[in-house]
Structure 1
Amino acid sequence: MLKIGITGGMGVGKTIVTHMFAVLGVPVYDADSRAKWVMHHHEALRQELLHAFGPETFSEQGELNRTYLAGVVFNNPQRLAQLNSLVHPHVRDDFEVWVASHADKPYVLKEAALMYESEAWKQMDEVIAVYAPMEVRLKRLAHRDAHRTEAEIKAIIAKQLSEEEKMRRAQHVLCNDDRQLVIPQVLALHKSFSSRGA
């Protein structure tokens, strides 16, 4: 079985691309949603987070206080690195358990915005970088994240690994620029991965 990573910055459309693979019957692991699940349900991690970030990390009902946590780490690289060092090892373990449950498939996908930053790429056989030019991304994000200003969106993007670096590191680049057809690109990759992972 091949383990294929899929990544890309905000607004490139990696979720839509990932849905296309899912429609083709490919199991997809969403690292962001699984990280939230693990932070809620892994008791040892919950205790580590409480110790590192204080009682405000969880509400009285036991829900993760994402707004508080985001505020603590957004402009503090040291605190962000601390958070990632706690969460990412548990997500890697969770992914390996999930992979084992899909051992009958030729390949699986792991969608992760922080594929390289979290070093999740080391678990992958290959990585797809989804690409869209900045003007297209900003247009999409202005529609999707209407509660954010363009300056806020650009600030978030600026903290992510550059698209150029992601494309340089990835084995495959899928262009989602609203000009090239995406489905044929997905089908070509699916055919290749299916034949090699079978």
Structure 2
Amino acid sequence: MKIGLTGGIATGKSTVAAMLVERGALLVDADQVAREVVMPGEPALEAVASLFGQAVIHTDGTLDRKALGGIVFNNSELLAQLESILHPAIRGRMQLRIRQYEEQHPRQLVVADIPLLYETGQEGLYDGVMVVYVPQQLQLERLMERNGLQEQEAQRRIGLQMDIEQKRSRADWVIDNSGSLETTRRQVDDFWKSKDLP
């Protein structure tokens, strides 16, 4: 069985992912794969360099994320071009890793941790989607505290993603992470038992 795991920024997705891994799930993390596909020698990095020039490449051949961010984040057209290079590379590598896990460990749960799963239309690739949920006000407070942000900037970042209530309504399983860690852990346990996982 393979599931997509998503949520909003600062809802505790990584915490729930770690709890699933503790129970024996195999994790494929989109953020980690996103870093892998832009390593020196990777086709995606070469495509990024040919589009944006050597200004986005450090002298050691690695991607200069800060320079790239400075170019694309105020230019939606360039950001779309960057995403057209990175998203297929990330998705392709994730699907390959998921297939390998399914072949090598057919009885184990495979979890794909994808922050923008709904936003990028990937829900159909999985047997179901688990959303890690907290109410938006708590999400805002946690993000401000975690990243040391002013309210306006935190609101802006939350606004870049699909509304958490919308994600919750589309989910196959919801883990409400607004209480204690123990309460979250119990919900993960209940999910695990309901699926009769090894």
Q: Same fold by TM (over 0.5)?
A: yes
8 Å Cα contact 1:107-1:193 kept in structure 2: no
Residues paired across the two proteins, number: 194
- Whole-angstrom distance in 1 between the partners of 2:41 and 2:114: 20
Matched, 1:127 2:129: yes
Is 2:40–2:62's contact at 8 Å kept on the other side of the alignment? no
Determine the C-alpha separation between the residues in 1 that align with 2:83 and 2:170: 21
Q: Does residue 51 of structure 1 match 2:50? A: yes
The reply on whether 1:188 has 2:190 as its aligned counterpart is yes
Q: Deviations over 1:55-95 (max 9, x none)?
A: 22221111221122223332333322222221111112211
* Residue type of the alignment partner of 1:160: Q
Question: TM-score scaled to structure 1, two decimals?
Answer: 0.88
Letter of the 1:115 counterpart: L
Distance 1:84 1:193, change over 3 A: farther
**Structure 1 residue 139 displacement after superposition:** 2.3
- Is residue 11 of structure 2 the alignment partner of residue 9 of structure 1? no
Report the AA paired with residue 190 of structure 1.
W
The residue type paired with residue 123 of structure 1 is L
Cα pair 1:5 1:121 within 8 Å, conserved: yes
Alignment of 1:44-193 (within 5 A): 44-103=43-102, 104=105, 105-146=107-148, 148-178=149-179, 181-193=183-195
Distance 1:130 1:36, change over 3 A: same
Q: Is the 8 A contact 2:24 2:108 kept in 1?
A: no
3-state SS of paired residue (1:184): helix
Deviation digits for residues 149-182 of structure 1, max 9, x if unmatched? 3222211111111112212322122111126811
Q: Which amino acid aligns with 2:79?
A: L
Structure-1 separation of matches of 2:119 and 2:41: 22
Aligned CA distance change for structure 1 residues 72 and 124 (closer, same or farther; 3 Å): farther
Contact 2:56 2:64 in 1 (8 A): yes
Q: Are the counterparts in 2 of residues 58 and 65 from structure 1 also a CA contact under 8 Å? A: yes
Question: What is the CA–CA distance in structure 2 between the aligned matches of 1:59 and 1:82, rounded to whole Å?
Answer: 21
- CA RMSD, 1 decimal: 2.0
Q: Distance in 1 between matches of 2:79 and 2:41?
A: 19
Letter in 1 for 2:161: Q
Contact 1:106 1:194 in 2 (8 A): no
List per-residue Cα deviations over 1:33-60 (Å, max 9, x = no partner). Answer: 1111111155221121112222222211
Give structure 2 stretches of 5+ with no counterpart: none
